[in-house]
Amino acid sequence: MSWPTVSPSDVAARWRPLTPAEELVATTRIAEVEAELKRELRLYGIFGSPTDLPADEIAEWDLLYVGVVADVVRNSLINPEGWLEVREELDDFARTRRRDSAVSSGIGYLTDDAIERLLPRRRRPRDSFTSRLGQT
DSSP string, 33-60: HHHHHHHHHHHHTS-SSGGGS-GGGHHH
Average pLDDT over residues 84-90: 69
56-74 pLDDT tens trace? 778 888 899 999 999 989 9
pLDDT reported for residue 5: 92
Q: What is the pTM of this model?
A: 0.69
120 closest CA partner among 34, 41, 3: 41
Residue type, 76: S
pLDDT reported for residue 128: 59
Average pLDDT over residues 82-89: 68
% of the chain with per-residue pLDDT over 90: 29
pLDDT higher for 111 or 30? Answer: 30
